């Protein structure tokens, strides 16, 4: 599941809160991509919840590329059921937009 950050200004950090059906899927990991490839990333998983923080000492691209790739192991025939609960970009709340195909 790729996550994207779209911004007119450079971004140096973001924090995300997600929920998923832990009966249907296991969180495997998160990998920074593109301009964020060298950024530090931390994840904190709870029972069906996931927090992701990414930070860089240099600005990340404000373009349209995948910033983080989330990896899940989904049970056969199950749906991930991933929901983005909120996001901060450079410590400021931002509007969250999801693609209907990702629900």
DSSP 26-81: EEEEEEE-GGGTTSEEEEEEETTEEEEEEEEEEEEP-SSSEEEEEEEEE-TT----
pLDDT (0 to 100) of residue 76: 94
Domain tally for the chain?
1
Judged by phi (left if over 0) then psi (alpha if -120 to 50, else beta), residue 36 lies in alpha
Q: pLDDT per position in the chain (103 positions), as tens?
A: 888 887 778 888 989 999 999 999 999 999 998 888 889 999 999 989 999 999 998 887 655 666 899 999 999 999 888 888 888 988 988 877 766 554 4
d(CA 20, CA 9): 30
- 71 within a domain of the structure (yes/no): yes
Strand order in the sheet with 49-60: 40-46, 49-60, 11-19, 83-89, 92-93
CATH number of the domain where residue 78 is located: 2.60.40.680
Q: How many residues does the chain have?
A: 103
- 97 within a domain of the structure (yes/no): no
- 93 within a domain of the structure (yes/no): no
pTM: predicted TM-score of the whole model, two decimal places = 0.81
């Amino acid at each position: 599941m790729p996550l994207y950050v779209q911004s007119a200004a450079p971004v140096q950090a973001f924090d995300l809160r997600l929920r998923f059906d832990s009966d249907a899927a296991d969180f495997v990991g998160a990998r920074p991509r593109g301009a964020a490839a060298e950024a530090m990333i931390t994840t904190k998983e709870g029972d069906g919840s996931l927090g992701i923080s990414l930070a860089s000492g240099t600005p990340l691209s404000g373009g349209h590329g995948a910033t983080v790739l989330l990896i899940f192991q989904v049970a056969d025939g199950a749906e991930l059921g991933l929901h983005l609960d909120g996001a901060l970009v450079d410590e400021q709340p931002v509007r969250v937009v999801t693609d209907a195909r990702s629900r």
